[in-house]
Amino acid sequence: MRLLVVSHPEVQVDPTVPVPQWGLSAAGCDRLQRLLRLPWARSAVLVASSTERKALQTAQAVAEVSGCPVHVDAQLGENDRSATGFVPPEEFEALADAFFAEPGRSVRGWETAAAAQQRIVRAVDGVVARALLVADARADDVVVVSTHGGVGTLLQCALRGVPIDRRHDQPGQGSWYSVDTATWEVAHGWRRI
């Protein structure tokens, strides 16, 4: 079985709306349509999503074209950044750099990278176990939609057995990578949808 780790496409940023409630932007919806044309998007046996709106929008669209269920799990969410809420892009990038640079330290109250990595690895193990229960002869793929590339990057670092490092981060929202669940080897790094 292949595990496809997908980050949601671009979002409509609105500082007046809580980040977990942000939806996809027009550009994100366009990228989502490209995602739905990928062969594996149509062969998923299970789509898993965090509880965030942007991830759910992505997951529900993939589930619709593949005819499979959506499993919602809050543990698939991005690192908890509720301590700061929305921060301007320049400040966010500096905080994200610090988050990856010091995995065991909380940056301004954020969940640590080390804790988020442990959480996402456990959650994905559970998703794959669930997918094996629903898998049938028509498909061999499971799709995991994380709220951002952050936890997807932490997962990839864990699977590769490398230290947490932002240089493994996604090239942009709406990216994906593939994992062989028989060996837990990452077939390729992030690719832009």
pLDDT in tens, 77-103: 999 999 999 999 999 999 999 999 999
Question: What's the predicted TM-score (pTM) here?
Answer: 0.94
Sheet holding 175-180, edge to edge: 70-72, 44-49, 141-146, 2-7, 175-180, 185-192
State the average pLDDT over residues 21-41.
96
Q: CA torsion angle for 90, 92, 97, 98 (degrees, to 10)? A: 120
Residue 136 is predicted with a pLDDT of: 61
φ, ψ of residue 79 to 5 degrees: the values are -55, 140
Pick the CATH number of 2-188 from 3.40.50.12280, 3.30.565.10, 3.40.50.1240, 2.40.50.140: 3.40.50.1240
Residue 145 is predicted with a pLDDT of: 83
The lowest-confidence range among 3-12, 16-25, 109-118, 136-145 is 136-145
State the average pLDDT over residues 141-169.
93
State the average pLDDT over residues 37-50.
92
Instruction: Please check the confidence at residue 137 and state whether its pLDDT lies above 50.
Output: no
Residue type, 61: A
Instruction: Please check the confidence at residue 111 and state whether its pLDDT lies above 90.
Output: yes
Average model confidence (pLDDT) across the chain: 94
Residue 146 is predicted with a pLDDT of: 80
Cβ atoms within 10 A of the Cβ of 9, count? 24
Q: 92-101, long-range: CB within 8 Å, 24+ apart, which pairs?
A: 96/150, 96/166, 97/166, 99/150, 100/153, 100/164, 100/165, 100/166, 100/169, 101/166
